[in-house]
Structure 1
Amino acid sequence: MLKRLLDYNEGEEFDLVLMVKNSQLRQDKRGKHYLLMQLADSSGSIRANYWQAQAEDASRFNAGTVVEASGMIEDYHNHDQIKLFSIHPVSPDDQVDLSQLVATAPEKPAEIEKEIKDFVAQIDNKNWHDLVDFLLKKWSSRFFAYPAGKSNHHAYKGGLAFHTLTMLKDARGLADNYPAVNRSLLYAGCILHDMGKVLELSGPVATQYTAEGNLVGHLVLIDEQLMLAAQELKIDLASEDLLLLRHMVLSHHGRYEYGSPKLPALLEAELLHRIDDLDAAVNAITTELSTTKPGEFTPPLMSQDGRRYYRPRQER
């Protein structure tokens, strides 16, 4: 079996076809240009510095560029980094299997889809069920393929659906423990809360924000989709059912400074915000810990207010 990028250990050399996940043109203390890059394949990504860069290399090695790179894995502040020997874009004539260059969700897409649809079937309020079912079918091809974000959490192919499924499982446990929770409303909110990202993001490969994503954002985009779906399904636009579901998606970031136009004002909306925040945090932390050596700390995680997390020497 061919080794992938994250299969190589410190001191090992490699020659691989990789994808530029992101790159930034910077200057060192002497004023010379270099590219700070993340090179990736389906196993994950590792930081690399291209010291011989010229200003025009920023466009040669932008996000999504497929490259052939040779180098060695080295230690940088207790984390892996690539020491590049050479790097050049792969010719468009070369047939490259992009599926081998993009990280994917840890569960098979068909299984994720089946499990989410099982939760849809448990939504017993007809209006909520019909709205969720309609929008899930409308955006199915994107919803089950897109990442949940560009970089912060679940930033891999199928990440949006996997994040949604994990939240639904958390929601099920909370609804089991707290009888006051409206299970149908919470499930509907979990499925819809990030669905606007199918319009906010460009796709699973070299993910960027679309014009709609930058100018409107996924909370407002899914609210618009809800209204359009309600019109098509002939659901009363003034109904409380629609009002509650709109509140769920619009308030799920939990704070004004995080982009929500309203704070959670329903028990289910409060739970949705906390479940979303919890799953995003767990994913971000475990992703960093997976590339951190035992007995060391992760780099500061911006999504966690710059905190660093420790990986114990003895793990179960």
Structure 2
Amino acid sequence: MPADAQPARRYIKDFGPSERFGGVFSIANAQLGRTRNGDPFLKCLLGDRTGTLPARKWSVSEEQFRRLPTDGFVYAEGATQPYQGELQLIVDTIEPTEPGPAELPDLLPSTDRDPDEMFAEVRALLESLAHPAMAALARAYLADEMLMSQFRLAPAAKIMHHAYLGGLLEHTLTLMQGADRLLPLYPRLNRDLVLMGLFLHDLGKTRELIYDRSFAYSDRGELVGHIVEGALMLQDKAKQAMAAEGVRLPPGLLSVLQHIVLSHHGRAEYGAARLPATPEAIFVAMLDELDAKTFIALNAARPPEAPAFDLGGNFTERQWALQNVRLYRPDPLA
């Protein structure tokens, strides 16, 4: 679009009901739906660094749909519309586009927390591991500068939870800190196994996801996935730790750590390669689910920046990541 045809940038968090919008947005989960009459329509998520909103374009041909990226960037114009207590975007015009470097910071969400401070806290927890073999394994990971750089930058997911730059680091730190506070209540759990398992559980996402422009899955992410990737990475790092420091892992340790990584999604239908079968694996899987689902619930029902307008309604749209439930918004004690 010509520069003089584009409205000044307004962020999604500032959108109100029944107003016009226009600009460059990220697009995610683009799908071709069908109306009750069988006519095709576009449904997707449009976003910028402040959030995402569901979008619909009621008149679209299959040829127009094929021109759009499933995940990428588009120029879109239309109007906002209140719907069941939520805001949605009704799109009039949408075209694929390639934003310039100056536009990307406005389009990709990132953590509000300081990555250097978060990484320092993760490092401190790893340096507190008691067993010499576990400490050597942690050092092998921390010495991998490229991997740790990716760990600090990557999102934790494409769209589900902590889906922003630095989200993987933030999610991992929250889990490790939470575990460190809970472990004294369960003294028979092995602290080293839990903390290392939490550090490792999602590291494969550094290779599963692409996050230099938009958030999408790499070819390896589609074919292998972060769960198996994390287990393979652990095998390599164990060899590196042994070669660098001459430390052998105790029998069974590598398998137990790999099991934590392979089982941390809890159930086969959620992507787990194995069901959790050690006390530490169960603990890790439940903590991971707690943080992910609580994050999704709070962002849907009580977003960090509440809109300046009231669309009415005490319930959110259905949250498919939470078994399609509509969440009750009000806090009766607030």
**TM-score scaled by length of structure 1:** 0.88
Match of 1:118, as an amino acid?
A: A
Q: Distance in 2 between matches of 1:25 and 1:210?
A: 23
- Give 1:253's aligned residue: 265
Superposed CA RMSD in Å reads: 2.6
Match of 2:279, as an amino acid?
A: L
- Give 1:220's aligned residue: 228
3-state SS of the aligned residue for 1:299?
strand
Q: In the alignment, is the contact (CA less than 8 A) between 2:9 and 2:23 conserved in 1?
A: no
- Give 2:103's aligned residue: 97
- Give 2:26's aligned residue: 19
Q: In the alignment, is the contact (CA less than 8 A) between 2:202 and 2:226 conserved in 1?
A: yes
Q: Distance in 2 between matches of 1:28 and 1:259?
A: 31
Alignment of 1:154-173 (within 5 A): 154-173=162-181
1:302 is aligned to 2:310: no
Q: Distance in 2 between matches of 1:66 and 1:210?
A: 17
Match of 1:269, as an amino acid?
A: A
Q: Distance in 2 between matches of 1:237 and 1:81?
A: 53
- Give 1:8's aligned residue: 15
CA drift of 1:295 comes to 4.7
Q: Distance in 2 between matches of 1:315 and 1:21?
A: 36
1:48 is aligned to 2:55: yes
Q: Distance in 2 between matches of 1:251 and 1:60?
A: 38
Distance change (3 Å), C-alpha of 1:66 and 1:208: closer
1:35 is aligned to 2:47: no
Structure 2 unaligned residues grouped into runs of 5+: 1-7
Q: Distance in 1 between matches of 2:210 and 2:260?
A: 24
Deviation string 1:233-265 (CA, Å, 9 cap, x unpaired) is 225467333233222222222234433343333
**TM-score scaled by length of structure 2:** 0.84
Q: Distance in 2 between matches of 1:266 and 1:216?
A: 24
1:283 is aligned to 2:289: no
Deviation string 1:176-196 (CA, Å, 9 cap, x unpaired) is 333323222211111001111
Q: Distance in 1 between matches of 2:101 and 2:221?
A: 31
- Give 1:176's aligned residue: 184
- Give 1:203's aligned residue: 211
CA drift of 1:103 comes to 1.5
Q: How many residues align?
A: 315
Match of 2:318, as an amino acid?
A: P
Give the percent of matched residue pairs that are identical in Structure 1 and Structure 2. 32
- Give 2:140's aligned residue: 134
Q: In the alignment, is the contact (CA less than 8 A) between 1:5 and 1:44 conserved in 2?
A: yes
Q: Distance in 2 between matches of 1:158 and 1:71?
A: 31
- Give 2:202's aligned residue: 194
Q: Give the one of 251, 256, 260 matched to 1:239.
A: 251
Moved more, 95-104 or 189-198: 95-104
Q: In the alignment, is the contact (CA less than 8 A) between 1:294 and 1:312 conserved in 2?
A: no
3-state SS of the aligned residue for 1:308?
strand
3-state SS of the aligned residue for 1:107?
coil
Moved more, 294-303 or 162-171: 294-303
1:113 is aligned to 2:113: no
Q: In the alignment, is the contact (CA less than 8 A) between 1:41 and 1:100 conserved in 2?
A: yes
Moved more, 181-190 or 15-24: 15-24
CA drift of 1:282 comes to 0.4
3-state SS of the aligned residue for 1:82?
strand
CA drift of 1:95 comes to 5.2
Q: Distance in 1 between matches of 2:331 and 2:123?
A: 40
Match of 2:58, as an amino acid?
A: W
3-state SS of the aligned residue for 2:62?
coil
Distance change (3 Å), C-alpha of 1:290 and 1:62: farther
